[in-house]
């Protein structure tokens, strides 16, 4: 299956991280999603029922970014993937990229991200 829906740059302010200051002060997180599903029916019918609702998926992702802090963005990425797959059965596979541009790594970096691929 080669059909995809791509959503990039879902922003949220979260409190994820290993360090006390990350948990206390928070920071920006960005999430990119690649959703693999068959879009032929939606192309034929031109109705939302034959695809997935982008607004629901972006809101769900935002909720995960902004609630229930975790130590590792690896866990956050898996949590987002699992929640989307469990609530949107048309999606056959998902790629979730969680960006943590202000990660405290001791050197200046443009971005640090984790990429998770999950298939049904």
* CATH number, residue 106: 3.30.1130.10
Confidence label for 1 from pLDDT (cuts 50, 70 and 90): low
The b-or-e profile of 89-107 (16+ CB within 10 A means b, else e) is eebebbbbbbbbebeeeee
Its pTM stands at 0.95
Q: Residue 70 is part of which domain span?
A: 4-119
Catalytically annotated residues: 100
pLDDT tens-digit map of 46-93: 999 999 999 999 999 999 999 999 999 999 999 999 999 999 999 999
Angle in degrees, 0-180, between the axes of helices 54-66 and 73-87, rounded to the nearest 10 = 150
Residue 114: other Cβ atoms inside 10 A: 16
Residue 99 is predicted with a pLDDT of: 98
Residue 2 is predicted with a pLDDT of: 83
Confidence label for 106 from pLDDT (cuts 50, 70 and 90): confident
* Count of domains forming the chain: 1
């Amino acid at each position: 299956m080669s059909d995809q829906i791509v959503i990039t740059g879902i922003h949220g302010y979260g409190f994820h991280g290993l360090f006390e200051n990350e948990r206390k002060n928070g920071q920006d997180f960005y999430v990119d999603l690649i959703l693999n599903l068959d879009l032929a029916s939606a192309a034929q019918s031109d109705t939302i029922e034959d695809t997935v609702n982008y607004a629901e998926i972006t809101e769900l992702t935002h909720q995960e970014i902004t609630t229930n802090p975790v130590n590792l963005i690896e866990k956050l990425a898996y949590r987002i993937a699992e929640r989307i797959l469990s609530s949107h059965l048309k999606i056959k596979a998902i790629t979730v990229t969680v960006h943590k541009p202000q990660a405290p790594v001791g050197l200046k970096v443009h971005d640090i991200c984790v990429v998770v691929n999950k298939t049904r």
